[in-house]
Amino acid sequence: MQNVLVSSGPVSVADVVAVARHGARVDLDPAALEQVQASRARIEALADDVEPHYGISTGFGALATRHIPGDQRTQLQRSLVRSHAAGSGPEVETEVVRATMLLRLSTLMTGRTGVRAQTARAYAGLLNAHLTPVVTEYGSLGCSGDLAPLAHCALAVMGEGFVRDREGNLLDAGDALARHGLEPVVLAEKEGLALINGTDGMLGQLALALDTLDTLFATADLAAALSVEALLGTDAVFADDLQVLRPQLGQRVAAGNVRRALAGSPIVASHKGPECTRVQDAYSLRCSPQVHGAGRDTAAHARAVAERELAAAVDNPVVTLDGRVESNGNFHGAPVAYVLDFLAIAVADLASISERRTDRFLDPARNHGLPAFLAHDAGVDSGLMIAQYTAAGIVSELKRLAVPASVDSIPSSAMQEDHVSMGWAGARKLRKALDGLTRVLAIEVLTATRALDLRAPLLPGPVTSAILRTVRTVVAGPGPDRFLSPEIEAVVALVASGDVLNAARSVTEIN
């Protein structure tokens, strides 16, 4: 894996994924470090000014009116980080923390925050040593930055608090830094503020979500194709000339995936012709590209917002290109918060239509000749009856998670911060929603592949056969009832890892 170069320009979504999810190392651009040093000189000049300057020689938030003498400013920055590292609840995932740290480092390297080069190097050092600060679930309102999560990261750079190493061991941050030859940072003027003022936590989770969705959208198309085939549906509705009549970009991509996945299917061919009396399939089959495509288009909008935010230098105050140090409101998380909520809606609906396809398999009045609940001996065996219950329960939860966080606001900091974005909360619920969608799609894949086996001697097409073979490496075919939970989890792993998608891609192009 190539190293990720952090310069004065933006990192990409792919860079975030490489560092956060796959452990890529980061390198710092020497030219950008020179810009960091240049802006630092401006901060140091203002530190000696008799006039107070916010974040440099004053307190913070509602305490910004107090002038802080020079001999107390190191303590001011240290106290800021310690007091703001006030998170609570379960630990946040390692990949989220690494994404958060990379994005804060990227902003530091713009030269607009006024930190020293050694502070930027400290963040790179922690990432490259795979030392992950312990960050907890609650503490960010998504305004004035993801304050508590970023403060926990800054605390570790100071050699305080706790980190986890590559193997997941919990270590004292100071001991861990020393073990890896890293020096704790003693924060200078403005540095504590610069380390905690940003949308990095919610933005990092958005970037990771977009990467996950790339896999899940394509897998949803394949799950729909499996269901159309096994339920003896028609592939005619997915024809490209029908899609272009409604020029929604995502819809055409989804329909193309379903069409290619069904190409050459003997099962589909078996019920074509005048003897087929069905005029139209149910919406959950026929309209799957419309729903899946709308989700794709939502993600495309979210990606555009993410890419603009990745190019941002979010801090307060900032050092402008002409050397001014100005307060601003760019730390407000509304742009990111809105699309996080929008994605949660799309995810819930994608899972909802998948569950409806699963349910059709289990009802002999709608499954076109398959046994009730796909059971071996219906009545003695329950088959996949309760697998659908599991999917339904998850979908119900996803509908609750689709309620937007960004419409809420709770004033804080003695009414100085009187409108907040709740973007971090939106990011956290989206991560949970993505896990739920993965599970619902896995249950559909599990159900549809069993139904394909039950269509024997008719055979599925080349693409769906490849998926069926992949599923059969972890789950046996139809038979008397077995302990079902491990089988569901095994297929969840296939979906999450991309193995289902890769099986299809071994045969044809899936976008």
Residues annotated as part of the active site: 54
* Residue whose C-alpha is closest to residue 212's, from 96, 91, 90: 96
3-state secondary structure at position 319:
strand
Query: Alpha-carbon dihedral of residues 497, 501, 507, 508, nearest 10 degrees?
Result: -140
- Could you give the CA distance from residue 95 to residue 97 in angstroms, rounded to a whole number? 5
Q: Which two tokens stand for residue 430?
A: 């989206």
Q: Which two tokens stand for residue 313?
A: 């230098």
Paired sense of beta strands 318-319 and 325-326, if any: antiparallel
DSSP state of 400: H
- Could you give the CA distance from residue 123 to residue 140 in angstroms, rounded to a whole number? 21
Q: Facing residues of 133 across strands? A: 163
Residue 174 burial (CB < 10 Å; 0-12/13-18/19+)?
Answer: middle
* Residue whose C-alpha is closest to residue 121's, from 200, 32, 14: 32
8 Å CB contact between 416 and 61: yes
- Could you give the CA distance from residue 425 to residue 309 in angstroms, rounded to a whole number? 18
* Contacts of residue 255, Cβ cutoff 8 Å, sequence gap at least 6: 238, 239, 240, 242, 243, 289, 293
* Contacts of residue 503, Cβ cutoff 8 Å, sequence gap at least 6: 466, 467, 469, 470
Ramachandran assignment for 413, one of left (phi > 0), alpha (psi -120 to 50 degrees), beta (any other): left
Q: Kindly report the backbone phi and psi dihedral angles of residue 508, in degrees, each rounded to the nearest multiple of 5, phi listed first.
A: -150, 175
- Could you give the CA distance from residue 201 to residue 127 in angstroms, rounded to a whole number? 15
Q: Which two tokens stand for residue 56?
A: 């440099």
* Residue whose C-alpha is closest to residue 417's, from 150, 152, 201, 142: 142
- Could you give the CA distance from residue 494 to residue 300 in angstroms, rounded to a whole number? 25
* Contacts of residue 326, Cβ cutoff 8 Å, sequence gap at least 6: 317, 318, 320
Cα radius of gyration (the chain): 26
